[in-house]
């Protein structure tokens, strides 16, 4: 996923013909570098006060809900003389690559939630129907822990997957008293069950020789996401707003009259 901004400097420079062409090229190259940085890093953890694309991820009509630092820092740029190319970080480490979960929303205007690795696992292993979506039971503060951004910690998703797999493979000790999710029996129900219990993922808990279940995730219908302005549209809007001042500054700095 990439978007380019190319501009005609002549439209923005007064008395264009009075300057030495080489000096104007230098002014344009400086502007490209500075504009690229502003758009890609403005609002990131490294430069939170500037109003670039990462700023849009957090505020205004195109904001995301509680974006993490990886999302804020996901915009990359490559200046090339009088144009600059922008793209999103696409490497997966311990979490989903930003390019994968941001692109459907700001790349193609999709209203579908991104299928995270957790969601894909549940569907692929038939722990959840395709029309369902897992939502953490935030009332279960014993098992469901949140990070500083108010999102479920990645280890909770990982341990739930491990618990489901181990339970299916009968690798869990039935009388386990461990407090860690995957050390106890974990199972999924795609339909209402028991005494009015909702579809979802549950954990068996043993307390004083009494067994009961604690819901980890409930299954809901797949949510719809409000589409945002595309990657290119947002970048172009920022460029149109910021380009003139950067160019004027650099013409004054590097421009040399004949």
Residue boundaries of the structural domains of the chain: 2-112+226-254, 117-221
Other C-beta atoms closer than 10 Å to the C-beta of 126 total 10
**94 confidence band (pLDDT: 50, 70, 90):** low
Q: What is the dihedral of CA 243, 248, 249, 255, to 10 degrees?
A: 130
Of 30-44, 72-86, 135-149, 220-234, the poorest mean pLDDT is in 220-234
pLDDT at 69 over 90: no
Check: pTM over 0.85? Answer yes or no: no
d(CA 152, CA 189): 21
To the nearest whole percent, how much of the chain has pLDDT over 70?
87
Burial 25-36 (b: 16+ CB within 10 A, else e): ebbbbbbbebbb
Tell me which H or E stretch contains 26.
helix 21-41
Q: Model confidence over 168-223: pLDDT tens digits?
A: 998 877 666 677 898 889 999 999 998 899 999 999 988 777 889 999 999 999 88
d(CA 120, CA 135): 14
**67 confidence band (pLDDT: 50, 70, 90):** confident
């Amino acid at each position: 996923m990439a978007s380019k901004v190319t501009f005609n400097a002549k439209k923005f420079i007064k008395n264009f013909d009075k300057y030495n062409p080489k000096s104007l090229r230098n002014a344009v190259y400086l502007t490209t570098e500075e504009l690229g940085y502003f758009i890609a890093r403005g609002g990131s953890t490294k430069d939170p006060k500037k109003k670039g694309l990462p700023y849009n991820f957090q505020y205004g009509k195109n904001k995301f809900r509680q974006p993490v630092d990886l999302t804020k820092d996901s915009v990359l740029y490559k200046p090339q003389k009088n144009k600059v190319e922008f793209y999103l970080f696409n490497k997966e480490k311990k979490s989903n690559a930003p390019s994968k979960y941001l692109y459907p929303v700001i790349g193609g205007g999709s209203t579908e939630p991104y299928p995270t690795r957790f969601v894909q696992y549940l569907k692929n292993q038939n722990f959840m129907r395709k029309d369902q979506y897992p939502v953490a039971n935030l009332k279960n503060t014993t098992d469901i822990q949140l990070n500083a951004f108010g999102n479920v910690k990645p280890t909770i998703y990982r341990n739930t997957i491990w618990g489901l797999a181990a339970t299916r493979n009968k690798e869990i000790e039935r009388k386990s008293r461990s407090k860690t999710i995957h050390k106890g029996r974990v199972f999924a129900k795609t339909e209402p069950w028991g005494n009015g219990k909702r579809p979802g993922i549950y954990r068996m808990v043993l307390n004083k020789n009494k067994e009961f279940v604690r819901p980890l995730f409930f299954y809901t219908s797949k949510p719809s996401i409000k589409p945002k302005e595309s990657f290119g549209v947002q970048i172009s809007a920022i460029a149109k707003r910021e380009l003139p001042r950067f160019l004027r500054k650099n013409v004054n700095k590097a421009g040399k009259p004949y």
